[in-house]
Amino acid sequence: MVDLKSQYDKIKNTVDASIQEVLDTTTYINGPKVHEFQKNLENYLGVKHVIPCANGTDALQIAMMGLGLKPGDEVITADFTFAATVEVIALLQLTPVLVDVDMVNMNISIEAIKKAITPKTKAIVPVHLFGRAANMEAIMAIAKEHNLYVIEDNAQAIGANCKFSDGTKKKAGTIGHVASTSFFPSKNLGCYGDGGAIFTNDDDLAHKIRGIVNHGMYIRYHHDVVGVNSRLDSIQAAVLDAKLPFLDEYGKARQNAARKYSKAFENHPNIIAPTICDICDCHVFHQYTLRITNGKRDALMEHLLANQIPCAIYYPIPLHSQKAYADARYKEEDFPVTNQLVKEVISLPMHTELDDEQINYITSTVLAFFEK
Ligand SMILES: Cc1ncc(COP(=O)(O)O)c(C=O)c1O
């Protein structure tokens, strides 16, 4: 699905030199590279605070701890996402409230959020799924009306823009009260191990979170709050700092590949391809995900794998149907879109190194399946 080796080969000198600096200074934990990367990412995103941590799941958990959410507080999130989002809600003994998504952008449905709000609701967690920014303008308006926190799960959409009706744009992950991201190797900005970060424009929350990631310490060996040990190590920060200047170029490469894929599938009666907006960069294509509408998605997958084309189903089971998160509160009829998407979606290879020959082979193999 990704080609991290070819990407590394092109930036080898930069990445190796950055890692070598860490080896030379032996500052493996909380070294200057972590601080440098943090500052560079703050500038790139236009956000006041980036707090690096160990992975994207920790980032979400720590964001919720920082907001002081308490057991029993209801947190609304999308039914169609990776499990980490709901996992941390459950882990903190908050009450997950899974809601349906939108058929076109596959992100949390605005109407479903409105219907799910109760007096116990404390937060909304939109996920910018597959690299496409959720409708943050509408989500922030609902949050303001009901006095709720918004925690953006930006694991999949770093670099994407959110567009507002007054024409302004802001980076996904800088709009809610707090946001999380993942630097898992295959992410749009990926390190060579695990990594993550929390973003916020709130000075007090940033201060609180900086303590939480470090065992609840603000002064050494003074533990003021219950914390965790969640650090981005200096070698991973060195990789990320070397890759950050390429993030926009990588986003363009993904969008170009997506444009070529979607052109090939244009007007096909059984394929719904994602649309690409040429102006706002609201989709950075962490995944390129088709909907196959003739009921033959699984057969297409077998056909692609038989032709040595990697593909994947993100995600095959709605979260409300997962054993760990099933609950009598959920009714199947509340999730018509997710229930349909899990049967229709298939993701094709998507990365920064896709060339025309690969794209042509993939698209012609997909199209040939429907001509059989
Ligand atoms: C939407 C979403 N949230 C959270 C995470 C968790 O990130 P990590 O794997 O770094 O813990 C992921 C990772 O795949 C993700 O896709």
Q: What is the pLDDT of residues 161-179, one digit of tens each?
A: 999 999 999 999 999 999 9
Measuring from each residue's beta carbon to the nearest atom of ligand 1, which residues come in under 6 Å? 55-57, 81-82, 84-85, 127, 153, 155-156, 182, 184, 194, 196
Domain boundary among 182, 213, 246: 246
* Predicted pLDDT at 6: 94
Residue 16 clears pLDDT 90, i.e. is over it = yes
Residue 300 clears pLDDT 80, i.e. is over it = yes
Domain boundary among 197, 215, 246: 246
Same domain, 182 and 159: yes
Residue 275 clears pLDDT 90, i.e. is over it = no
Mean pLDDT value across residues 265-294: 93
Q: Among 316, 318, 346, 329, which Cα is nearest to 80's? A: 318
Q: Report the percent of the chain where pLDDT is more than 90.
A: 98
Q: How far is the CA of 300 from the centre of ligand 1 (A)?
A: 27
Residues 6 or more apart in contact with residue 339 via CB below 8 angstroms: 318, 332
Same domain, 194 and 307: no
CA-nearest residue, atom 7 of ligand 1: 56
Q: How far is the CA of 127 from the centre of ligand 1 (A)?
A: 10
Residue 278 clears pLDDT 80, i.e. is over it = no
Our mutation pick for probing the ligand 1 site, out of 61, 182, 191, counting the most ligand atoms within 8 A of Cβ, is: 182
Same domain, 67 and 205: yes
Whole-model pTM over 0.95: yes
Same domain, 270 and 324: yes
Q: How far is the CA of 210 from the centre of ligand 1 (A)?
A: 20
Our mutation pick for probing the ligand 1 site, out of 107, 156, 228, counting the most ligand atoms within 8 A of Cβ, is: 156
Range of the domain at 89: 4-100+107-246
Same domain, 237 and 307: no
CATH number of residue 18's parent domain: 3.40.640.10
* Predicted pLDDT at 276: 87
Domain boundary among 220, 246, 272: 246
Mean pLDDT value across residues 283-307: 98
Same domain, 231 and 277: no
3-state secondary structure of 97: strand
* Predicted pLDDT at 238: 98
- The gap between the terminal CA atoms of the chain, to the nearest Å, is 25
Neighbours of 23 (CB within 10 A): 12
Total domains in the fold of the chain:
2
- φ and ψ at residue 180, rounded to 5 degrees: -130, 155
Mean pLDDT value across residues 297-310: 98
What confidence tier does 372 reach under pLDDT thresholds 50, 70, 90?
A: confident
* Averaged pLDDT of the chain: 97
Establish whether the linkage from the previous residue to 8 is cis, with ω within 30° of 0. no
* Predicted pLDDT at 279: 75
In the chain, the amino acid numbered 346 is: I
Q: How far is the CA of 82 from the centre of ligand 1 (A)?
A: 7
Same domain, 148 and 241: yes
Same domain, 241 and 262: no
* Predicted pLDDT at 68: 97
